[in-house]
Amino acid sequence: MRIVIKNGHLMDHTGDHGIADLYLNHGIVEGKNLGGDVDQTIDANQALVTPAFLDLHCHLREPGHEVKENLESGLRAAAAGGFGTVVGMANTLPPIDEPGNITALIEKSKRLGLTRLRLAAALSRGLEGEHMTDFAALQDAGAVMLSNNDKPVTSIHLQRHACEYAHELKLLVQTYPHDPVLAQDGAMNEGRVSQELGLPGIPATAETTMIFRDCEIAHMTGCHIHVSPVSTKRGMQVIEWFKAQGAPVTAEVTPYHLTLTDESMTLFDPVYKVSPPLRTQEDVDYLRDALSRGVVDNIATHHAPHTIAEKDHDLLVAPVGIACMEVAFPLLYTQLVKENLLSLESLLAHLQEKPAQVMGWEAPSLQEGQPADITILDLAQTRNVAPQTFQSKAKYSPWANQDLCGWPIATLVGGKIVYQR
């Protein structure tokens, strides 16, 4: 099938290509301004046409938690957010710790024909942090990284040997910077706000100590460790120090840690309860600066949907997580790019070629011969955040009723339209 996206403002990591017609043929970028017969025409009306985004960390909840999200609703949410490829996490029920789990999910995602699914496999059996899974078998089945998700490996001995094994296989190990002993039952960031509210807090040290430990293991073993995510100034400074030492370390941040602070918790609304918790304005400012300086390697959504009933529980017992794939780009474009805190080119880079670099994948582009994974973005028109219209099953948002611009108009994966507004 031959498609033309007419009158689009073309931009990718190779540059700003101005207004042009982009031709796609059988799922591949054919070229610009070629002319000739087509089977379908999409008029971009000078909206931004750019490679679809990559999300290296999202929770799609299938199998086992389909009441929160399932593969179809999660991948539809990803497509609505402009994402062409997402990496699903392994904390499902059962966890993704066997090759058959990976094969079944990938095959189902292909049948759905939506956003491309890649999978993280559990680093330890059952995510219990006691015994390593069969990394080679999981990799052969299609796993692109190893992760123990939000259950950090507390045994430094196991972490060392897991990294040694992963390094032999050239598998990335994604680590969660959270010391559960220091964090205890904290519900938010430990600091002035938590003291004023009388809520148990999670200190920044619970993050920085685990980042230092895992980066030291990366330096020792040569294993590529990806810290996911960094939420504090001191945590990012540890990342910077290890990068300067030549350690094979990369790090990501989330949209909510770039746009929200612990002051949000004064509303006592569990919709703001996330892990790691929302931090101080000083932390947010430092993360934004690190993003603009290129210290941060990528932005990942950490899309973590729950039911409204779960989120309506008391703040101390409500689950952590925000569903944000569908608002990630308009949120960051409106609050960072429009406020001149980050360039459009840098924001796109942290959602496109930089996550590809983290994974060792070819950078997505609009160049001839590349996969036709494309998103079309309306940077001019403002729209209200309406959670009830989300493709995700999680019909709530910290940004509900806010006016944002930069919404995806359409997303194509392999030349097929998987979302159109």
Task: Please list the rounded mean pLDDT of every run of 10 residues in the chain (421 residues).
Answer: 97 96 98 97 97 98 98 98 98 97 98 98 97 98 96 94 98 96 96 98 98 98 98 98 98 98 97 97 98 97 97 94 97 98 98 98 97 98 96 97 98 98 92
Measured CA distances, 262 to 183, 311, 357, 399 (Å): 16, 18, 32, 15
| CA–CA separation, 347 and 377 (whole Å) | 13
C-alpha–C-alpha distance, residues 45 and 175, integer Å: 42
Q: Report yes or no on 406 lying in a domain.
A: no
Residue 192, helix vs strand vs coil: helix
Q: Which residues of 49-85 are buried (b: 16+ CB within 10 A; e: fewer)?
A: bbbbbbbbbbbbbbbebbebbbbbbbbbbbbbbbbbb
Number of folded domains in the chain? 1
Q: Containing domain of residue 93, as a range?
A: 52-364
Residues recorded for the chain: 421
Q: Angle of helix 233-244 relative to helix 205-221, nearest 10 degrees?
A: 20
Instruction: Provide the β-strand partners of residue 184.
Output: none
- Does some domain include residue 46? no
What whole-number distance in Å separates Cα of residue 305 and Cα of residue 244?
A: 36
CA 27 to chain centre: 24
Evaluate whether residue 256 is within a structural domain. yes
Q: Which of 135, 165, 87, 147 lies closest to 361 in space, CA to CA?
A: 87
The answer to whether residue 13 is domain-embedded is: no
The tokens for 235 are 């945590």
End-to-end CA distance of the chain: 21
User: What pTM did the predictor assign?
Assistant: 0.97
Handedness of CA 151, 77, 259, 349 (dihedral sign): positive
403 vs 381: CA distance, rounded Å: 10
Q: What is the pLDDT of residue 292?
A: 96
Question: At 235, which amino acid appears?
Answer: G
In a domain, 271, yes or no: yes
Give CA–CA dist 240/221, Å, rounded.
19
Determine, yes or no, domain membership for 3.
no
Longest dimension (CA), the chain: 68
Task: For residue 381, tell me if it sits in a domain.
Answer: no
CA 111, CA 230: separation in Å to the nearest integer? 35
CATH number of residue 66's parent domain = 3.20.20.140
- How far out from the chain centre does Cα 408 lie? 17
Two tokens at 226?
């990806």
pLDDT score of 150: 87
DSSP state of 370: S
Q: What are phi and psi of 257, to 5 degrees?
A: -75, -10
How far, in Å, CA of 338 to CA of 184, rounded?
39
How far does Cα 100 stand from its chain's mean position?
A: 24
Of 38, 81, 106, 30, which is closest to residue 372 (Cα–Cα)? Answer: 30
CB atoms within 10 A of CB 173: 26
In this structure, is residue 421 part of a structural domain? Answer: no
Residue at 400: amino acid letter: A
